[in-house]
Amino acid sequence: MATQFYAAQSTIKIAEGSACMGDDKSRKQTETLAMADAKRNAIESVQTYVSSVTEVKDFELQKDLVSAYANVTVELIETLGKSWYKDTAQGDCYKVKIKTEIIPDEKAMKEGK
């Protein structure tokens, strides 16, 4: 049986995230949560893309790619925008728009986990 290796490429993604203060969060905590939301949105969009374009008939390749993108590293390239705004229902909220590089876990692909 031949060993197969698939090149895992990083992906550049622009994503937005937001969070609201409520009664239990400081401004800094809200900013941190908005950044985490933006990073999660970037990861989810890449995972959705990988799942939708991978050939279903080649289950091993699909499994390897999904594994590689399940444990990614997110590198912040640039903050494209950030601002506080008032939501009538939730109060003070913060939104951020970022440019990231999503780097798949090449070890997971090589090991076929």
Count of domains for the chain: 1
For residue 94, give its domain range.
11-104
- pLDDT score recorded for residue 100: 95
Is position 3 within any domain?
no
Q: How would DSSP label each residue in 8-26?
A: ---EEEEEEEEEE-TTT--
Calculate mean pLDDT across residues 80-92.
95
d(CA 108, CA 72): 10
- pLDDT score recorded for residue 87: 93
- The residue that leads in pLDDT, 112 or 19, is 19
- Predicted TM-score (pTM) above 0.75: no
Is position 43 within any domain?
yes
Indicate whether 86 pLDDT > 90.
Answer: yes
Is position 58 within any domain?
yes
What single-letter DSSP state applies at residue 33?
H
E runs forming strands in the chain: 11-20, 73-87, 91-103
- pLDDT score recorded for residue 15: 96
Indicate whether 57 pLDDT > 70.
Answer: no
d(CA 50, CA 85): 34
Is position 76 within any domain?
yes
Is position 32 within any domain?
yes
Indicate whether 6 pLDDT > 80.
Answer: no
Is position 6 within any domain?
no
Is position 109 within any domain?
no
Task: Determine contact, residues 94/28, Cβ cutoff 8 Å.
Answer: no
